[in-house]
């Protein structure tokens, strides 16, 4: 054992877990579950009310026409394990995506571009790693710098929807798989508002600006 | 991203390697791995509360799927990956909050407030959280750079740079005494 490692290990041994650590952990689990249930209840209520209004409007013939999303998933209704990258995406493309979804340029700047920990110079590629039920999001810029993004577990809800969670926020995505390409759209995100409320903006920027292509099939980005 | 058996021996207090035929109960797994994980996360975060929260979340994530996880080859590796994943998220959120707030955030750092008697604490206080994470993963837990890179979501060259800067700072501080 190197001296440095020995000193670090010795230092760490001065940190002791509080008593009844297991009980404290389950208490936290129960608290988080209550919060999730509450958030899910509110969401269900909102959807119920919205559905009722929509149904009522449709009956009167004045309702909006639902969007026609592509939902073909010829891979058996799941996203195959692997690493996926979008083609290089410019700032203008991301801004246009967010504007199309009703967000402002300022929101795009403050909630997507500014929090990036890597410089956004020419373009950015969004990355997605699907592995053993885990979902990791990453990004890299034209200088080759990488940023670690969100990560959590996910499960397939039905052949067109997946739900990813990190025990705080739970995000539901619509997806379609066609060959090597995975297209995603953010349906909704639930969880404590402080953590999850404004996350829909970066989520939209990341997942809806371009489709994801399996790494082996992704063309090399321009220099 | 697999982990070496060397790591499993280092990470656990008892060094027992659990396999499918020797699957521990969740309570036994917690008993064996909670303290080491908490201590490593204390080194990374410099904050007992944050370290405990990360540790709890990592174990909760495993608990929810324990029937599957107990039989995988390396549940300890899975646990650490989950914990670092959670740490990344918390760091990102903290950075976002820092940018959003004009007031100073009152965040307690175990290493920042210590008197200068403890050189290790001073050394750790001089590192960034990312450098601490790289040092803990490579130096204390024995991960290779590519393995640590996978957990931190950066390139292995970045891990090497972070660990090297961290080691240099720590050695400098330790040699000052």
Transcribe chain A into DSSP letters. --HHHHHHHHHHTT--PPSSHHHHHHHHHHHHHHHHHHHHHHHHHHHHHHHHHHHHHHHTT-SPPPP------TTTSSPPSEEEEPPPB-HHHHHHHHHHTT--HHHHIIIIITT-SS--SS-EEEEEEEETTEEEEEEEETT--EEEEEEEEEEEEETTEEEEE-SS-EEEEEEEEETTEEEEEEEEEES-HHHHGGGHHHHHHHHHSS-EEEGGGPPPPP-
User: The tokens of A198 are what?
Assistant: 């404004």
User: Between residues 145 and 164 of chain A, which touch chain B (CB distance below 8 Å)?
Assistant: 146-153
User: Between residues 183 and 202 of chain A, which touch chain B (CB distance below 8 Å)?
Assistant: 195
In a domain, A173, yes or no: yes
Nearest-CA distance B44 → chain A (Å): 10
d(C-alpha A120, C-alpha A205), whole Å:
13
Total domains in chain B come to 1
Q: Is B140 in Cβ contact with A5 (below 8 Å)?
A: yes
In a domain, A223, yes or no: no
Q: Could you report the per-residue pLDDT of B103-146, keeping only the tens digit for each?
A: 444 445 566 545 544 788 888 888 888 899 999 999 889 899 88
CA-wise closest residue to B136 among B54, B60, B56, B30: B54
Q: Does B135 touch chain A (CB under 8 A)?
A: yes
- pLDDT, mean of residues A122-144: 86
Nearest-CA distance B35 → chain A (Å): 6
What's residue B106's pLDDT?
47
Q: Which of A89-103, A108-122, A165-179, B108-122 has the lowest mean pLDDT?
A: B108-122
Instruction: State whether A126 and A22 are in the same domain.
Output: no
Q: Does B38 touch chain A (CB under 8 A)?
A: yes
d(C-alpha B44, C-alpha B84), whole Å:
10
What's residue B110's pLDDT?
62
Instruction: State whether A129 and A23 are in the same domain.
Output: no
B99 secondary structure, DSSP code: H
Q: Is A136 in Cβ contact with B85 (below 8 Å)?
A: yes
| pLDDT beyond 60 at A74 | no
Q: Does B108 touch chain A (CB under 8 A)?
A: no
d(C-alpha A202, C-alpha A206), whole Å:
6
Nearest CA in chain B to A112: B96
| pLDDT beyond 60 at A103 | yes
Of A42, A66, A90, which residue sits at a domain end? A66
CA-wise closest residue to B173 among B132, B116, B130: B116
| pLDDT beyond 70 at A223 | no
Instruction: State whether A49 and A3 are in the same domain.
Output: yes
What's residue B37's pLDDT?
95
Instruction: State whether A101 and A206 are in the same domain.
Output: yes
Instruction: State whether A92 and A189 are in the same domain.
Output: yes
- pLDDT, mean of residues A24-30: 87
Domain that holds residue A15: 1-66
Instruction: State whether A62 and A94 are in the same domain.
Output: no
> Angle, to 10 degrees, between the axis of helix B26-45 and the axis of helix B48-64?
150
d(C-alpha A211, C-alpha A86), whole Å:
6
User: The tokens of A147 are what?
Assistant: 């940023």
Nearest-CA distance B107 → chain A (Å): 18
Q: Which of A78-87, A187-196, B40-49 has the lowest mean pLDDT?
A: A187-196
Nearest-CA distance B155 → chain A (Å): 7
| pLDDT beyond 80 at A93 | yes
Q: Could you report the per-residue pLDDT of B86-107, keeping only the tens digit for each?
A: 888 777 666 555 555 544 444 4
Q: Average per-residue pLDDT in chain A?
A: 80
Nearest CA in chain A to B173: A4
Of A17, A32, A66, which residue sits at a domain end? A66
Instruction: State whether A115 and A150 are in the same domain.
Output: yes
Instruction: State whether A88 and A2 are in the same domain.
Output: no
Nearest-CA distance A151 → chain B (Å): 6
Q: What's chain A's length in residues?
A: 223
Q: Which of A71-80, A144-153, B135-144 has the lowest mean pLDDT?
A: A71-80
Q: Is B56 in Cβ contact with A29 (below 8 Å)?
A: yes
Check if the beta carbon of residue B129 is closer than 8 Å to that of residue B45. yes
d(C-alpha B52, C-alpha B58), whole Å:
10
Of A12, A33, A66, which residue sits at a domain end? A66
Q: Does A60 touch chain B (CB under 8 A)?
A: no
Q: Which of A60-64, A108-112, B36-40, B58-62 has the lowest mean pLDDT?
A: A60-64
Q: Is B34 in Cβ contact with A17 (below 8 Å)?
A: yes
Instruction: State whether A54 and A130 are in the same domain.
Output: no
Residue numbers in B near A135 (CB within 8 A): none
In a domain, A75, yes or no: no
b/e code A166-177 from CB counts within 10 Å (16+ = b): bbbbbbbbbbbb
Check if the beta carbon of residue A111 is closer than 8 Å to that of residue B92. no
Instruction: State whether A117 and A28 are in the same domain.
Output: no
| pLDDT beyond 80 at A19 | yes
Dihedral of CA atoms A42, A47, A53, A55 in degrees, nearest 10, equals: -150
3-class DSSP assignment, residue B111: coil
| pLDDT beyond 60 at B42 | yes
Q: A146 has which bridge partners? A: A140
Q: Is A22 in Cβ contact with B153 (below 8 Å)?
A: no
A219 or B25, greater pLDDT: B25
Nearest CA in chain B to A20: B31
Confidence of residue A68 (pLDDT cuts 50, 70, 90): very low
CATH of the domain at B129: 1.20.140.160
| pLDDT beyond 50 at A36 | yes
User: The tokens of B34 are what?
Assistant: 């909670």
Instruction: State whether A125 and A189 are in the same domain.
Output: yes
3-class DSSP assignment, residue B47: coil
What's residue A194's pLDDT?
66
Nearest-CA distance A202 → chain B (Å): 12
Residue numbers in A near B121 (CB within 8 A): 11
Confidence of residue A195 (pLDDT cuts 50, 70, 90): low
Domain that holds residue B113: 5-175
Residue numbers in B near A149 (CB within 8 A): 92, 153
Instruction: State whether A21 and A87 are in the same domain.
Output: no
Total domains in chain A come to 2
Q: Is A12 in Cβ contact with B153 (below 8 Å)?
A: no
Q: Does B120 touch chain A (CB under 8 A)?
A: yes
| pLDDT beyond 70 at B82 | yes
Q: Could you report the per-residue pLDDT of B146-176, keeping only the tens digit for each?
A: 888 888 878 888 889 999 999 998 888 888 7
d(C-alpha A162, C-alpha A173), whole Å:
5
């Amino acid at each position: 054992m190197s001296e440095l490692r020995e000193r670090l290990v010795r230092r760490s041994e001065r940190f002791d877990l509080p008593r009844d650590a297991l009980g404290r952990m389950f208490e936290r689990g129960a608290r988080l579950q209550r919060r999730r249930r509450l958030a899910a209840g509110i969401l269900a209520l909102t959807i119920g009310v919205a559905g009722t209004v929509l149904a009522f409007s449709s009956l009167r013939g004045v309702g909006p026409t639902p969007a026609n999303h592509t939902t073909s998933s010829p891979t058996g209704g799941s996203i195959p394990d692997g690493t996926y990258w979008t083609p290089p995406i410019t700032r203008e493309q991301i801004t246009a995506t967010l504007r199309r979804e009703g967000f402002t340029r300022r929101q795009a700047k403050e909630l997507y571009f500014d929090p990036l920990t890597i410089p956004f110079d020419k373009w950015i590629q969004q990355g997605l790693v699907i592995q053993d039920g885990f979902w990791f999001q990453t990004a890299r810029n034209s200088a080759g710098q990488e940023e670690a993004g969100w990560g959590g577990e996910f499960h397939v809800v039905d052949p067109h929807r997946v739900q990813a969670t990190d025990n705080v926020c739970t995000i539901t995505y619509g997806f379609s798989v066609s060959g090597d390409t995975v297209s995603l759209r953010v349906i909704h995100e639930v969880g404590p508002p402080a953590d999850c409320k404004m996350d829909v903006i970066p989520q939209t920027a990341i997942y809806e600006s371009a489709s994801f292509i399996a790494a082996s099939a992704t063309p090399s980005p321009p220099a | 991203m697999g982990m070496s058996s060397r790591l499993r021996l280092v990470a656990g207090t008892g060094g027992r390697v659990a396999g499918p035929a020797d699957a521990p109960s969740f309570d036994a797994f917690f008993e064996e791995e909670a303290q080491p994980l908490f201590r490593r996360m204390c080194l990374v975060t410099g904050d007992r509360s944050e370290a405990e929260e990360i540790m709890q979340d990592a174990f909760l994530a495993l608990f929810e799927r324990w029937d599957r996880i107990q039989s995988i080859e390396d549940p300890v590796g899975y646990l650490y990956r989950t914990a670092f994943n959670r740490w990344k998220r918390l760091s990102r959120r903290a950075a976002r909050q820092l940018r959003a707030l004009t007031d100073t955030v009152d965040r307690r750092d175990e290493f920042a407030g210590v008197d200068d008697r403890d050189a290790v604490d001073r050394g750790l206080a001089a590192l960034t959280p990312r450098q601490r994470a790289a040092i803990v993963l490579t130096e204390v837990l024995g991960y290779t750079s590519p393995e640590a890179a996978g957990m931190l979501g950066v390139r292995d060259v970045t891990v090497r740079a972070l660990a090297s800067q961290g080691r240099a700072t720590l050695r400098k501080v330790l040699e000052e005494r």
